[in-house]
Amino acid sequence: MANLLTIETKRCKGCGLCAYVCPKKILELDMSNVNDKGYNPIKCIDMSECTACAMCARMCPDSVIKVERDV
């Protein structure tokens, strides 16, 4: 089982700060998806690379990301 990022896409404002601070560069805006607020929400493109460092979640102004580490 890998680490887990749960992204509450409906609350995401697509600011991209999480992607900017992600050391693994595995977050990017989902240009194929528009949420109810009209934003392209963030998505993880390679969960297997995630180290559960939670930098994305700490930076996110809207508390959109929950991070769980595989134990």
Partner 1 sequence: MGKVVYEKSKGLTDNPLSYCPGCLHGTIHKLVAESLVELEVLDRAVTVASVGCSVVAYQFFNCDAVQAAHGRAPAVATGIKRVSPDSIVFTYQGDGDLAAIGMAEIVHAAHRGENITVIFVNNGIYGMTGGQMAPTTLITQKTSTSPFGRKEATTGKPLKVSEMIAQIPSAYYIERVSAHTVPHLVKAKKAIKKAFENQIHGKGFSMVEVLSTCSIGWHMTPVESLSHVENSMMPYFPLGVYKDEGEVIS
Judged by the rule CB under 8 A, the positions of this chain that interact with partner 1 are 1, 3-4, 11, 13-17, 20-21, 39, 52-55, 57-63, 65-71
Contacting residues for 26 by C-beta, under 8 A, at least 6 apart:
44, 45, 46, 47, 49, 50
Q: Compute the least distance from the CB of residue 8 to partner 1, in Å.
A: 8
Q: Compute the least distance from the CB of residue 32 to partner 1, in Å.
A: 19
What is the distance between the alpha carbons of residues 52 and 42, in angstroms, rounded to a whole number?
16
Q: Compute the least distance from the CB of residue 68 to partner 1, in Å.
A: 3
